[in-house]
Structure 1
Amino acid sequence: MDHLGYRMKFGVLGPSTNTIVQPDFDDMRPVGVTNHYSRIVIPDMAVDDNEGFMRMVDAISSNTMDAADVLKTCEMQYLVMGMSAVTFWNGKQGAQAYLERIRQRVGVGVTCGSFALEAALNAYGVRRIAFLSPYFPVANAEVRRFFEDCGFTVVRDVCLRRPSPVQIAHTTDRMCRDAIRELDGDDVEAIVQVGTNLSMVRLAAAAELYLDKPVVAINAATYWHALRQVGIHDKIQGLGRLLSHH
C-alpha cells in the first residue's frame, strides 16, 4: 500500500503546455489520494484558425500513448485524462473507441472529460445545455456532436479562439464571464465549460450561485467522475455543487 496514496493512486495525463489541470486536480484531492502527472509533449504552436487547431490536436494524439506508458511504471491504479478536445472527437461512438484504446494500453480504468461531463449532466438531470471552449469552430462542432449523440440539446456555444495552447491558461475571468452571459438564457438548463487548460473551476462554482443552475467546469467534472468511479465519495466544498452534493 502506497504510504500517501493509500486510498487511490491516480495517474494523470495532460499536454506539456497545460498549466491548469495539475493544480486544479490537486485542489480537489482528498486525503489518501495522490495524483501523478505525465506530460504529453507538444510544442506551444500558434493557433489562429481551424487548420492550426487540428495540427495541435494531431500533436497531442500522436504522443499520448508514450506519456501513458510512463505512468504505468508507478503502478497507478486508475488513469484520469487531463485533456479534452480529443476525447470528444467523432461523436460518442468514436470517443468510446478512443477511450477503449487508452484502457487497453494502460490496463486500468480511465476517466476522460467527455464522458465525465455526460455523467455530470445526467447527475443534474438536465437536457438543454450551452457550452464554451477555448477552441476554434472545428472543435466546437465535435463537442456539439458528442453531446447531441448523448441525447442533450445544445442551444448555443461559444469558442474563445485562444491563439496558442499556453495562451489558453491566460484566459481571463472577464472573458469567461462574458461567455457565460452570452450563453445563458431561460432556454438553457446548464452551462458547460470544456478545455482543461482553461481555468474555470472557481468561476463556475460562483456562477452557479447567481444563475441558479448548474455551471459545470470540465476539470471539476473529470476529477469528480474519477473519484466516484473508484468508490471515493468524499464531498469537497467550494468547487461547485457537483463535488459538494453528488
Structure 2
Amino acid sequence: MPSVGFLYPGYSAEDDYPVFEEKLGGDVRLHLVHTLMREDAHRVDALLDVGGSDVLGEGARELREHGVDAAVWACTSGSFVFGWDGARAQAQAVEDETGAAASSTSFAFVNALRALGIERVAIAASYPEDVAERFVEFLGAAGIEVVAWAGRGIVTAAEVGTLSGEDVLDWVAAGDHPDAEAVLVPDTALHSAAILDALEERLGKTVLTANQVSVWEGLRLAGAAAPREGLGTLFRSGARVPASTEH
C-alpha cells in the first residue's frame, strides 16, 4: 500500500490528514511527523527557523523509519519564505534524509496549477501581508500571474486552526477575482479537507488549499495519483503534471 510522509510544524490543522486518508478510500497511508516550532508566528524570522535544516532533518529521519514512498514538507510559508532556490534545496535535503522523493507545499501549489493548466490566480492568505507577498513572489518565479491577493493578518498558526468552515467559505469567496482561474489558500494551519467541494461550489471555480495540494503532491510522488471524488477539482481531474514539474 502506498504511503506518504508529511513533516508538519506544530499543532493546528493536523487532524485534516486523517480526514484526507478516510476520503481517499483507505488504500493509501498518510504518516504525519510533527516538527519543532520554537515560536508560532507568521513572521519571516520565525518562519526561517521553522523550516531550518536542523528541524527538518530531525523530522525527516523519523519519516525514514516509516519507510514512506514520498515525503512532503507540509508548510507553505516555511518553504516559500526561503525563495525559489532555497525551497528547492530544502526539499532536496528532505529527500536525502528520507531516501524518498520529496517536495514541499509551495512546490505542490505550482505543480497543481501546472497540472490543471491554470496560469492566473487570486490568493486568500491568512498571513500578514509581508509574508503573503513572499508567496506572490514565489509564484511569480514559476510564471504564475497573481491577479489579486490579500493577507488576513493572522499571526499564529494556532489561531488559523480555529477558523470555522463557514468563516473560511466567506473569507475565501471575498478573496476571489473575476480574472482568476483559481483561488489559492496557502496555509497548512487551515482546516479544509471537509469543505473542498463546498468552496468550489461557492466560488464556481477551482480552489486549491495547502493541505489539499500537499496530499496530492505526496500521492503524485508515490505514484498513487488516481482520480478521487470529494476532494475538489484537483483530485477529481486526475491531472498529471507536465515535464516541467518542480522538485
The two structures have a TM-score, normalised by structure 1, of 0.85
**Cα offset for 1:55?**
4.3
Match of 1:215 among 194, 198, 207: 207
Are residues 1:233 and 2:225 paired?
yes
* Corresponding residue of 2:115: 123
User: Whole-Å Cα distance in 2 between the matches of residues 19 and 180 of structure 1?
Assistant: 17
CA distance in 1, matches of 2:89, 2:18: 29
Partner Cα distance (1:28, 1:56) in 2: 33
Map of 1:154-165 to 2, 5 A cutoff?
154-165=146-157
- Percent identity of the aligned residues? 22
On the 8 A contact 1:17/1:43 being kept in 2, the answer is: no
Q: 1:168 to 1:137 in 2, by over 3 A?
A: same
Matched, 1:10 2:28: no
Tell me if the contact between 1:202 and 1:240 (Cα under 8 Å) persists in the aligned partners. Answer: no
Tell me, yes or no, if structure 1 residue 32 matches structure 2 residue 24. Answer: no
How many residue pairs align between the two structures? 235
Q: Deviations over 1:195-246 (max 9, x none)?
A: 1010123434223224321111121122112212222133321111111222
Distance in 2 (CA, whole Å) between partners of 1:158 and 1:27 is 32
What is the match of residue 64 of structure 2? Answer: 72
Is the 1:15–1:83 contact (alpha carbons within 8 Å) kept by the matching residues of 2? yes
Equivalent position to 1:107, from 89, 99, 103: 99
Task: Specify whether residues 195 and 64 from structure 1 end up closer, same or farther in structure 2 by C-alpha distance, changes over 3 A only.
Answer: same
Distance in 2 separating the partners of 1:165 and 1:207: 21
> 1:14·1:37 contact (CA, 8 Å) conserved in 2?
yes
- Matches of 1:224 and 1:182 in 2, distance apart? 25
Query: In the alignment, what sits opposite 2:183?
Result: 191
Q: Report the aligned-residue RMSD.
A: 2.2
SS of corresponding position for 1:148 = helix
> Which letter maps to 1:112?
S
- Evaluate the alpha carbon distance shift between residue 72 and residue 174 of structure 1 in structure 2; reply closer, same or farther with a 3 A threshold: same
Equivalent residue for 1:176? Answer: 168
| 1:190 to partner: Cα distance | 0.9
Q: Matched residues in 1 for 2:142 and 2:25: separation? A: 30
Equivalent of 2:48, from 41, 44, 58?
58
Rounded Cα–Cα distance in structure 1 between residues aligned with 2:189 and 2:105: 12
Q: Residue 24 of structure 1: CA displacement?
A: 4.2
Larger-Rg structure: 1
SS at match of 1:155: strand
Unaligned runs of 5+ in 2: 239-247
1:124-160 superposed Cα distances (whole Å, 9 cap, x missing partner): 2221101122212222121101111111111111222
Aligned to 1:201: 193
